[in-house]
Amino acid sequence: MPPLDSWLKVTIRMSFLLLPLIVILLIGLAASAAFVYQRLRLELTRLSHETKELRAQLAQRVEQETPQDPSREVYRRFLYYASHEVLTNPLQTIQTSLER
């Protein structure tokens, strides 16, 4: 069993000219990450405001919407009930169609 005070040592040999390049690269990476974060945050803020405006416009439109004429509403109800009847009783509909 190896002694407890033994450690793995990794030695990287590079020239001192490479070190400033790596530091500049890391600084550029951090700056670009901060720039992207700021752009995404501004986009999120813009979309949030746009959503609020659209919701306000929708609420205003609902308030301004005039009631539809009664015959149109009766027709819509008739279509709803007829389609509901067909969907709930398809065999009866087929039987009725075959009897004709």
Can you give the three-state secondary structure of the chain, one letter per residue?
Answer: CCCCCCCCCCCCCCCCCHHHHHHHHHHHHHHHHHHHHHHHHHHHHHHHHHHHHHHHHHHHHHHHCCCCCHHHHHHHHHHHHHHHHHHHCHHHHHHHHHHC
Residues in the chain: 100
Residue 24 above 80 pLDDT? yes
Q: Can you give the pLDDT at residue 45?
A: 96
Residue 68 above 60 pLDDT? yes
- Which of the four pLDDT bands, split at 50, 70 and 90, describes residue 95? low
Token output for 19: 């070190």
C-alpha distances out from residue 36 to 14, 29, 31, 49, 95, Å: 32, 11, 9, 20, 65
Residue 38 above 80 pLDDT? yes
Q: Can you give the pLDDT at residue 83?
A: 74
Q: Can you give the pLDDT at residue 79?
A: 81
For residues 68-85, average pLDDT:
77
Torsion-angle region of residue 64: left (phi > 0), alpha (psi -120 to 50) or beta? alpha
